[in-house]
Amino acid sequence: MKLILLGAPGAGKGTQAEIISDKLGIPTISTGNIIREALKSGTEMGRAAKQYIEAGQLVPDEVVIGIIRDRLAEDDCRNGFILDGFPRTIPQAEALDRMGIVIDKVIDIEVADETIARRVSGRRVCLDCGATYHIDYKKPKAEGVCDHCGSTLVQRKDDQPETVAERLHVYHEQTEPLKNYYADCGKLTVVEGQEELADTTRLTLAALGENA
Ligand code: AP5
Protein backbone atom coordinates (compact mmCIF):
# COMPACT_ATOMS: atom_id res chain seq x y z
CA MET A 1 0.00 0.00 0.00
CA LYS A 2 1.34 3.40 -1.01
CA LEU A 3 -0.56 5.97 0.94
CA ILE A 4 -0.58 9.76 1.32
CA LEU A 5 -2.05 11.45 4.40
CA LEU A 6 -3.26 14.99 3.77
CA GLY A 7 -4.63 17.46 6.29
CA ALA A 8 -4.03 20.75 8.07
CA PRO A 9 -1.23 21.11 10.63
CA GLY A 10 -2.34 19.22 13.73
CA ALA A 11 -5.18 17.40 11.94
CA GLY A 12 -3.83 14.06 13.19
CA LYS A 13 -1.76 12.83 10.22
CA GLY A 14 1.20 11.77 12.37
CA THR A 15 -1.05 10.02 14.89
CA GLN A 16 -2.91 8.06 12.21
CA ALA A 17 0.33 7.29 10.34
CA GLU A 18 1.73 5.63 13.46
CA ILE A 19 -1.39 3.46 13.84
CA ILE A 20 -1.53 2.44 10.16
CA SER A 21 2.19 1.74 10.12
CA ASP A 22 1.82 -0.69 13.07
CA LYS A 23 -1.23 -2.32 11.51
CA LEU A 24 0.08 -2.74 7.95
CA GLY A 25 3.80 -3.10 8.72
CA ILE A 26 4.86 -0.35 6.32
CA PRO A 27 7.09 2.62 7.20
CA THR A 28 5.90 6.16 7.75
CA ILE A 29 7.87 8.84 5.99
CA SER A 30 7.32 12.17 7.68
CA THR A 31 9.14 15.05 6.01
CA GLY A 32 8.53 17.12 9.16
CA ASN A 33 10.28 14.50 11.33
CA ILE A 34 13.16 14.13 8.85
CA ILE A 35 13.68 17.90 8.77
CA ARG A 36 13.47 18.20 12.58
CA GLU A 37 16.02 15.38 12.90
CA ALA A 38 18.38 17.23 10.51
CA LEU A 39 17.85 20.41 12.52
CA LYS A 40 18.73 18.60 15.76
CA SER A 41 21.86 17.05 14.25
CA GLY A 42 22.90 20.44 12.83
CA THR A 43 23.33 19.24 9.24
CA GLU A 44 23.53 21.77 6.43
CA MET A 45 19.97 20.94 5.36
CA GLY A 46 18.74 21.32 8.95
CA ARG A 47 20.38 24.71 9.32
CA ALA A 48 18.88 25.88 6.02
CA ALA A 49 15.39 24.64 7.00
CA LYS A 50 15.37 26.22 10.49
CA GLN A 51 14.22 29.69 9.41
CA TYR A 52 11.30 28.27 7.41
CA ILE A 53 10.05 25.86 10.08
CA GLU A 54 10.22 28.42 12.87
CA ALA A 55 8.33 30.98 10.76
CA GLY A 56 5.62 28.43 9.87
CA GLN A 57 6.64 28.52 6.19
CA LEU A 58 7.26 25.59 3.88
CA VAL A 59 10.81 24.46 3.22
CA PRO A 60 11.62 24.97 -0.51
CA ASP A 61 10.25 22.27 -2.82
CA GLU A 62 13.65 21.19 -4.18
CA VAL A 63 14.88 20.38 -0.65
CA VAL A 64 11.92 18.17 0.34
CA ILE A 65 11.69 16.52 -3.09
CA GLY A 66 15.35 15.50 -2.69
CA ILE A 67 14.63 14.12 0.80
CA ILE A 68 11.72 12.03 -0.50
CA ARG A 69 13.57 10.77 -3.57
CA ASP A 70 16.41 9.44 -1.37
CA ARG A 71 14.10 7.98 1.29
CA LEU A 72 11.81 6.15 -1.15
CA ALA A 73 14.85 4.47 -2.70
CA GLU A 74 15.53 2.66 0.59
CA ASP A 75 14.75 -1.06 0.91
CA ASP A 76 12.00 -0.81 3.53
CA CYS A 77 9.79 1.16 1.08
CA ARG A 78 9.59 -1.71 -1.41
CA ASN A 79 6.30 -3.07 -0.04
CA GLY A 80 4.67 0.29 0.51
CA PHE A 81 4.83 3.37 2.73
CA ILE A 82 2.82 6.15 4.28
CA LEU A 83 3.71 9.71 3.28
CA ASP A 84 2.92 12.06 6.18
CA GLY A 85 3.40 15.71 5.23
CA PHE A 86 4.46 15.16 1.61
CA PRO A 87 3.40 16.32 -0.91
CA ARG A 88 2.43 19.74 0.38
CA THR A 89 2.40 21.69 -2.88
CA ILE A 90 1.32 20.91 -6.44
CA PRO A 91 4.97 20.94 -7.67
CA GLN A 92 5.80 18.33 -4.98
CA ALA A 93 2.91 16.10 -6.15
CA GLU A 94 4.05 16.48 -9.76
CA ALA A 95 7.61 15.55 -8.74
CA LEU A 96 6.27 12.39 -7.06
CA ASP A 97 4.46 11.48 -10.28
CA ARG A 98 7.65 12.07 -12.28
CA MET A 99 9.50 9.66 -9.96
CA GLY A 100 7.12 6.98 -11.28
CA ILE A 101 5.54 6.41 -7.86
CA VAL A 102 1.95 5.18 -8.21
CA ILE A 103 -0.01 6.11 -5.11
CA ASP A 104 -2.89 3.77 -4.15
CA LYS A 105 -4.84 6.06 -1.85
CA VAL A 106 -4.88 9.58 -0.47
CA ILE A 107 -6.65 10.15 2.84
CA ASP A 108 -7.53 13.71 3.76
CA ILE A 109 -8.19 14.19 7.49
CA GLU A 110 -10.58 17.14 7.85
CA VAL A 111 -10.46 19.24 11.01
CA ALA A 112 -11.80 22.80 11.45
CA ASP A 113 -9.21 25.53 12.02
CA GLU A 114 -10.70 26.32 15.46
CA THR A 115 -10.00 22.78 16.68
CA ILE A 116 -6.42 22.87 15.41
CA ALA A 117 -5.27 25.46 17.97
CA ARG A 118 -6.52 23.26 20.85
CA ARG A 119 -4.90 20.17 19.39
CA VAL A 120 -1.46 21.63 18.80
CA SER A 121 -1.25 23.56 22.07
CA GLY A 122 -1.58 20.26 23.97
CA ARG A 123 0.68 18.28 21.69
CA ARG A 124 3.91 16.84 23.11
CA VAL A 125 6.47 15.10 20.93
CA CYS A 126 9.46 12.85 21.32
CA LEU A 127 12.39 14.39 19.48
CA ASP A 128 14.20 11.04 19.50
CA CYS A 129 11.67 8.68 17.87
CA GLY A 130 9.05 11.17 16.58
CA ALA A 131 6.11 9.72 18.60
CA THR A 132 3.30 12.19 19.26
CA TYR A 133 1.10 12.61 22.35
CA HIS A 134 -1.52 14.99 23.69
CA ILE A 135 -1.81 16.16 27.30
CA ASP A 136 -5.57 15.42 27.29
CA TYR A 137 -6.40 13.13 24.35
CA LYS A 138 -3.40 10.82 24.06
CA LYS A 139 -1.47 10.73 27.31
CA PRO A 140 1.80 8.86 27.65
CA LYS A 141 1.88 6.18 30.38
CA ALA A 142 4.25 8.33 32.48
CA GLU A 143 3.83 12.09 32.25
CA GLY A 144 6.44 13.72 30.02
CA VAL A 145 8.10 10.44 29.01
CA CYS A 146 7.89 8.69 25.63
CA ASP A 147 6.22 5.24 25.83
CA HIS A 148 8.38 3.97 22.97
CA CYS A 149 11.92 5.06 23.81
CA GLY A 150 11.79 6.65 27.28
CA SER A 151 12.99 10.08 26.09
CA THR A 152 11.64 13.35 27.46
CA LEU A 153 8.60 14.79 25.67
CA VAL A 154 8.69 18.42 24.59
CA GLN A 155 6.47 21.03 22.93
CA ARG A 156 7.42 21.93 19.36
CA LYS A 157 8.59 25.51 18.80
CA ASP A 158 6.25 25.86 15.82
CA ASP A 159 3.24 24.98 18.00
CA GLN A 160 3.15 28.56 19.37
CA PRO A 161 -0.22 30.22 18.45
CA GLU A 162 1.17 32.84 16.00
CA THR A 163 3.21 30.22 14.12
CA VAL A 164 0.20 27.88 13.99
CA ALA A 165 -1.88 30.68 12.43
CA GLU A 166 0.77 31.12 9.72
CA ARG A 167 0.99 27.34 9.14
CA LEU A 168 -2.78 27.24 8.66
CA HIS A 169 -2.61 30.14 6.20
CA VAL A 170 0.11 28.34 4.23
CA TYR A 171 -1.91 25.11 4.36
CA HIS A 172 -5.04 26.70 2.86
CA GLU A 173 -3.05 28.50 0.18
CA GLN A 174 -0.55 25.85 -0.92
CA THR A 175 -1.57 22.41 0.35
CA GLU A 176 -5.37 22.37 0.17
CA PRO A 177 -5.34 22.46 -3.68
CA LEU A 178 -3.91 18.93 -3.49
CA LYS A 179 -7.38 17.69 -2.53
CA ASN A 180 -8.62 18.48 -6.04
CA TYR A 181 -5.39 17.16 -7.58
CA TYR A 182 -6.01 13.71 -6.06
CA ALA A 183 -9.82 13.81 -6.31
CA ASP A 184 -9.45 14.33 -10.06
CA CYS A 185 -7.60 11.01 -10.37
CA GLY A 186 -10.11 9.20 -8.11
CA LYS A 187 -7.67 8.58 -5.24
CA LEU A 188 -9.02 10.88 -2.53
CA THR A 189 -11.02 9.74 0.51
CA VAL A 190 -12.08 12.40 3.02
CA VAL A 191 -12.14 11.34 6.67
CA GLU A 192 -13.79 13.35 9.44
CA GLY A 193 -11.00 14.08 11.95
CA GLN A 194 -12.92 16.39 14.24
CA GLU A 195 -14.11 13.86 16.80
CA GLU A 196 -12.40 11.59 19.31
CA LEU A 197 -9.14 9.95 18.33
CA ALA A 198 -10.77 6.49 18.27
CA ASP A 199 -13.42 7.75 15.80
CA THR A 200 -10.81 9.17 13.42
CA THR A 201 -8.84 5.92 13.63
CA ARG A 202 -11.93 3.82 12.88
CA LEU A 203 -12.82 5.96 9.85
CA THR A 204 -9.23 6.02 8.56
CA LEU A 205 -8.83 2.25 8.83
CA ALA A 206 -12.26 1.72 7.23
CA ALA A 207 -11.10 3.85 4.28
CA LEU A 208 -8.26 1.36 3.88
CA GLY A 209 -10.56 -1.65 4.20
CA GLU A 210 -9.20 -2.50 7.68
CA ASN A 211 -10.97 -2.97 11.03
CA ALA A 212 -9.98 -0.84 14.04
P1 AP5 B 1 5.03 18.61 9.94
O2 AP5 B 1 5.75 18.01 11.05
O3 AP5 B 1 4.61 17.75 8.80
O4 AP5 B 1 3.82 19.43 10.54
P5 AP5 B 1 2.27 19.57 10.10
O6 AP5 B 1 1.75 19.07 8.81
O7 AP5 B 1 2.08 21.01 10.30
O8 AP5 B 1 1.57 18.57 10.92
P9 AP5 B 1 1.70 18.33 12.39
O10 AP5 B 1 2.85 17.42 12.67
O11 AP5 B 1 1.67 19.66 13.10
O12 AP5 B 1 0.31 17.64 12.71
P13 AP5 B 1 -0.32 16.22 12.41
O14 AP5 B 1 -1.38 16.35 11.37
O15 AP5 B 1 0.73 15.17 12.20
O16 AP5 B 1 -1.07 16.00 13.79
P17 AP5 B 1 -0.75 15.06 15.03
O18 AP5 B 1 -1.02 13.64 14.70
O19 AP5 B 1 0.59 15.39 15.59
O20 AP5 B 1 5.87 19.81 9.29
C21 AP5 B 1 6.50 20.79 10.11
C22 AP5 B 1 7.18 21.80 9.21
O23 AP5 B 1 8.19 21.15 8.39
C24 AP5 B 1 6.29 22.52 8.20
O25 AP5 B 1 5.63 23.63 8.75
C26 AP5 B 1 7.32 22.91 7.10
O27 AP5 B 1 8.08 24.02 7.51
C28 AP5 B 1 8.25 21.70 7.07
N29 AP5 B 1 7.81 20.69 6.10
C30 AP5 B 1 7.41 19.40 6.37
N31 AP5 B 1 7.06 18.77 5.24
C32 AP5 B 1 7.23 19.66 4.24
C33 AP5 B 1 7.00 19.61 2.83
N34 AP5 B 1 6.54 18.51 2.24
N35 AP5 B 1 7.26 20.73 2.11
C36 AP5 B 1 7.75 21.84 2.68
N37 AP5 B 1 7.98 21.97 4.00
C38 AP5 B 1 7.72 20.89 4.78
O39 AP5 B 1 -1.91 15.55 16.01
C40 AP5 B 1 -1.88 16.82 16.62
C41 AP5 B 1 -2.22 16.68 18.12
O42 AP5 B 1 -3.60 16.34 18.26
C43 AP5 B 1 -1.45 15.55 18.82
O44 AP5 B 1 -1.15 15.95 20.12
C45 AP5 B 1 -2.42 14.36 18.82
O46 AP5 B 1 -2.19 13.48 19.90
C47 AP5 B 1 -3.78 15.05 18.91
N48 AP5 B 1 -4.83 14.38 18.15
C49 AP5 B 1 -4.71 13.77 16.94
N50 AP5 B 1 -5.92 13.31 16.54
C51 AP5 B 1 -6.81 13.66 17.50
C52 AP5 B 1 -8.22 13.49 17.67
N53 AP5 B 1 -9.00 12.88 16.75
N54 AP5 B 1 -8.80 14.01 18.79
C55 AP5 B 1 -8.05 14.65 19.73
N56 AP5 B 1 -6.72 14.82 19.63
C57 AP5 B 1 -6.10 14.34 18.54
Q: Indicate which atom in ligand 1 lies nearest the CA of residue 33.
A: 2
Torsions phi, psi for 68 (to 5 deg): -70, -40
Domain boundaries, the chain: 2-26+79-113+163-207
CA dihedral 16, 183, 67, 17 (to 10 degrees): 10
How far apart are alpha carbons 97 and 75 in whole angstroms?
A: 20
pLDDT digits 0-9 by tens, 88-117: 999 999 999 999 999 999 999 999 999 998
CATH of domain 2-26+79-113+163-207: 3.40.50.300
State residue 129's pLDDT score. 85
Residues assigned a catalytic role: 13, 88, 123, 156, 167
How far apart are alpha carbons 91 and 179 in whole angstroms?
A: 14
- pTM score of the predicted model: 0.94
Q: Edge-to-edge, what's the strand order for the sheet holding 2-7?
A: 28-30, 81-84, 2-7, 105-110, 188-192
Distance 207 CA to ligand 1 centre (A): 20
State residue 211's pLDDT score. 82
Residues of the chain with pLDDT under 50: none
